[in-house]
């Protein structure tokens, strides 16, 4: 059974770069049937899709965040990563990594809270 | 402000049915049969309940059903159970620029 696990710093200073990694276990990342993505949820608020990538490197970005985003995949390490530059307090959220099956998201990682604060 | 509009809250008694609406536009909900629904209990990870408007993943009770009419999708939960109390989010594919958009979420209370 596929499991996803996010990792990264829980605290990032304003204007710095947020970097997260999602490691897969129990499944393969190099499938043509799936994409891999990130979704975030600010405390007490709703969900926001951020970015997605295929194992071959095709990327999709939320246009409202695109200028600050980079998503990448490392098939040798069976993981994918997210980088968000110039963070502000508005980027404070629980960040989930997900698998895309078609046009839906399943499964989800456990999520990691990232707080932007000096 | 979320791209898709959901009621902030709905409620029902055990055994009853409730419907949660998700209203978008012809560029998202109305334009594609790619609406999905997620259940999130407090402090927990969202769980896929419905995809492609009406399809239920394995393991999801058949009390949960999805539908769509025009620019509005709906999630209906019949035979409400206490464990159904949670937040529910809809999501729609929105084309090759916006990609995926979520609703603001609906809090379901089982009275």
Average pLDDT value for residue range B22-48: 97
pLDDT at B2 over 80: no
- Whether A49 sits inside 8 A of B32 (CB atoms) is no
Q: How many CB atoms lie within 10 A of CB A100?
A: 19
* CA-angle at B100, arms to B94 and B102, nearest 5°: 105
Which pLDDT score is estimated for B1?
A: 64
Among A7, A29, A26, A16, CA closest to A111: A7
Given this model, what pLDDT does residue B57 score?
Answer: 95
B91 contacts A47? CB cut-off 8 A: yes
State mean pLDDT over B9-37: 97
Return the pLDDT at A56: 86
User: Which residues in A have their CB inside 8 Å of a CB on B?
Assistant: 46-49, 52, 60, 62-63, 96, 101-111
* A11 Rama sector, left if φ>0, alpha if ψ -120 to 50, beta otherwise: beta
The answer to whether residues B46 and B38 touch, using CB atoms and an 8 Å cutoff, is: yes
How confident is the model over B94-111, as a mean pLDDT?
94
pLDDT at A48: 97
pLDDT reading at B27 higher than 80: yes
Residue A30: the pLDDT is 84
Q: Locate tokens 């710095």: which residue?
A: A16
Please tell me the distance in Å from A79's CA to the nearest CA on chain B: 20
Å between B91 CA and nearest CA of chain A = 8
B61: Cβ–Cβ under 8 A, 6 or more apart, which residues? none
CA distances from B5 to A104, B60, B101 (A): 18, 24, 11
Range with the lowest mean pLDDT among A24-33, B14-23, B76-85, B88-97? Answer: A24-33
Residues in chain A: 118
- Name the token pair of B86: 């949670």
Q: Reduce the secondary structure of chain B to three states and give it as a string.
A: CCCEECCCEEEECCCCCEEEEEECCCCCCCCCCCEEEEEECCCCCCEEEEECCCECCCCCCCCEEEEEECCEEEEEECCCCHHHCEEEEEEEECHHHHCEEEECCEEEEEC
Q: Which residues pair with A82 in a beta bridge?
A: A20, A71
Chain B residues whose CB is inside 8 A of the A105 CB are 36, 38, 46, 48, 91
pLDDT of residue A29: 86
Local confidence pLDDT in tens for the 118 residues of chain A: 999 999 999 999 999 999 999 999 988 888 888 999 999 999 999 999 999 999 888 999 999 999 999 999 988 889 999 999 999 999 999 999 999 888 999 999 999 999 999 9
């Amino acid at each position: 059974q596929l499991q996803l696990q996010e990792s990264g710093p829980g605290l990032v200073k304003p204007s710095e770069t947020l970097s997260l990694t999602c490691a897969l276990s129990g499944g393969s990342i190099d499938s043509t049937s799936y994409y891999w993505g990130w979704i975030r949820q600010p405390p007490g608020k709703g969900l926001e899709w951020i970015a997605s990538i295929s194992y071959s490197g095709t990327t999709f970005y939320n246009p409202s965040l695109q200028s600050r985003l980079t998503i990448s995949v490392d098939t040798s390490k069976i993981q994918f990563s997210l980088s968000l530059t110039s963070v502000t307090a508005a980027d404070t959220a629980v960040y989930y990594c997900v698998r895309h099956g078609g046009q839906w998201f399943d499964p989800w990682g456990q999520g990691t809270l990232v707080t932007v604060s000096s | 402000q979320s791209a898709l509009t959901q009621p902030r809250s709905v409620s029902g008694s055990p055994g009853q049915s409730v419907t949660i609406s998700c209203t978008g536009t012809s560029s998202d909900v109305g334009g594609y049969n790619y609406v999905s629904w997620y259940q999130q209990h407090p402090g927990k990870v969202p769980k896929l309940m419905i995809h492609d408007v009406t399809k239920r993943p394995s393991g999801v009770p058949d009390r949960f059903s999805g539908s769509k009419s025009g620019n509005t999708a709906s999630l209906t939960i019949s035979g409400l159970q206490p464990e159904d109390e949670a937040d529910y989010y809809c999501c729609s594919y929105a084309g090759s620029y916006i990609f995926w958009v979520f609703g603001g979420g609906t809090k379901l209370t089982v009275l």
